[in-house]
Amino acid sequence: MADLTRETGVPVPTIKYYLREGLLPPGRPIGRNQAEYSQAHVRRLRLVRALVAYGGLSIAVIRDLVRHLDDPDVSGGDLLGAAQLTVTARHDPPPGPGRDRAERIIDDFMARHGWHDLERHPSRQTMIGLVTSLTELGREDMLDVLDDYAVAAEQIAEADLRIVGELRDRERVLEIVVLGTQLGDTIITSLRRLAQAHVAQRIHGPSPSGQSPSGSSPSGPAPCGPFPSAGTWSG
Amino acid sequence: MADLTRETGVPVPTIKYYLREGLLPPGRPIGRNQAEYSQAHVRRLRLVRALVAYGGLSIAVIRDLVRHLDDPDVSGGDLLGAAQLTVTARHDPPPGPGRDRAERIIDDFMARHGWHDLERHPSRQTMIGLVTSLTELGREDMLDVLDDYAVAAEQIAEADLRIVGELRDRERVLEIVVLGTQLGDTIITSLRRLAQAHVAQRIHGPSPSGQSPSGSSPSGPAPCGPFPSAGTWSG
């Protein structure tokens, strides 16, 4: 077990916890209180640590995923679907006329983009809730972005599925889907911010200081307030 | 004030709280304990409620934004930048060789996409942190998606800036930037999930049931576990 710690940096008590919780299979017994661990253990331990640290998943959810990973009756495609669902929140909008209208808007939208057979996908419910909110806020004009967003989302998904690649290496599928979805969401929203700043500079002029909003140095402290100093975004 | 409540649905105690906190300008006094409120108040109240409910912003941040909104010395472009920064988290990665390498990767990447003058944008730091994490997890292969993501992010940003439109209507700029960034992030990540399911169906075959993963009906309860029933994602 000391070797496992040396190779992965995961402390022994944490490894023992993962063993007790069934996230890591037991080692091969080689004597009293001694067990041998293989490279497969090292790999599984790295995966579990990554799912805990970056997947935002509970131990129970990771245990279920790992069980699927080791179950030969679960196909690679099923594993992919299961992993995607664990990182998909579901927000059901309350029923009402606003929701019925939003449901029609989303169904038209999905049909327009050829996204079929997804009537029961949890993200369809989330979209209906978001559209309900926007229309109730009187901001139906913001729905004009949806078609552009859908085209961009499909390009993102193509890249995602290309990275998952062949479904044969099951641990890789699980790790990439969970990390790629959670870290990937943050990557996409960060790139969106950068691209917004880039496009805004192009439209409304470059910042005179040649720097972007925050006045602090890259390695310095975070800015105290949420606002750029005057003039850093000329409009 | 009863009229304000009738028009917006915001309860009187909440309106009083917003007045005290300076989120809503006082009405025109028309007698003892009486004030007249205009359509501008109705609009501002709707904006504040939306920023509280959907922007995830603190009262202090909204007060600063509203102050900028009413300050004629703050240009439309500055307001846009300020609003974008309030909804941009900053995560500084710890220094180290991994970070230095990630910094070079991100700078090459941004130069490749012509994203200049963004050295101090908080999202550049977040990206460096994410790349550091991925390389430390041994998942550098996942960086292959970055260029496709950047192209998609720029399309999203073009749509975002188009919706903001002219910077003359300042309340609209503020509302759309804050709502469009916060709700927009959730829209984009939900569309990404749907598009992943759509592309996965295309590559790995449609689900035999003609339905997507969750077995519950659209208006039914959320699924109990994170997993689809066996076979709903054929692979």
Which CATH number fits the domain that encloses residue A46? 1.10.1660.10
| B195 and B105 fall within a common domain | yes
pLDDT at position B150, please? Answer: 97
Any domain includes B224 = no
Q: What is the pLDDT of residue B103?
A: 94
The pLDDT assigned to B84 comes to 79
Dist. CA A128–CA B194, nearest whole Å: 13
pLDDT (tens digit, 9 = 90+) per residue, B58-70? 888 889 888 888 8
Encode pLDDT of A103-142 as tens digits. 999 999 999 999 999 998 989 998 998 898 888 778 888 9
B207 band by pLDDT with thresholds 50, 70 and 90 = low
Q: What tens digit of pLDDT does each residue of A124-134 get?
A: 998 998 898 88
Higher pLDDT, B38 or A75: B38
Q: Is A135 on the interface with B (CB under 8 A)?
A: no
- Neighbouring CB atoms inside 10 A of A219's CB total 11
pLDDT higher than threshold 80 for residue A220: no
Buried b / exposed e along A37-67 (16+ C-beta atoms within 10 A) = beeebebbbbbbbbbbebbebeeebbbbbbe
Nearest to B218 among A120, A206, A215 (CB): A120
| Domain count for chain B | 2
B114 CB within 8 Å of a chain A CB: yes
- Closest alpha carbon to A41 in A68, A65, A70, A61: A70
Residue B214 has pLDDT above 50, yes or no: no
B170, B79 contact by CB (below 8 A): yes
Q: Do A113 and A189 belong together in one domain?
A: yes
Among chain A residues, the shortest Cα distance to B137 is held by A50
ipTM over 0.90: no
Residues A95-116: b if buried by 16+ CB within 10 A, e if exposed: eeebbeebbebbeebbeebebe
Judgement on whether residues B175 and B116 belong to the same structural domain of the protein: yes
Per the CB < 8 Å rule, is B213 touching A46?
no
Average pLDDT over residues A163-176: 80
Q: What is the mean pLDDT of residues B215-228?
A: 34
Please, which pLDDT band fits residue B24 given cuts at 50, 70 and 90? very high
Residue B153: predicted pLDDT: 97
Asked whether the beta carbons of B93 and B125 are under 8 A apart, the reply is yes
Residue at B26 is within a domain:
yes
Q: Cα(A203)–Cα(A178) distance, rounded to whole angstroms?
A: 37
Average pLDDT over chain B, rounded to an integer: 80
**DSSP SS3 for A35:** strand
Q: What is the pLDDT of residue B226?
A: 33
Does one domain contain both A184 and A106? yes
Residue B186, token pair as written in the block: 């959730």
**Residue B157: pLDDT above 60?**
yes
Q: What is the mean pLDDT of residues A54-67?
A: 83
Domain that holds residue B109: 97-204
Choose the mutation target among B61, B207, B227, B234 for the interface with A, i.e. most A CBs under 10 Å.
B227
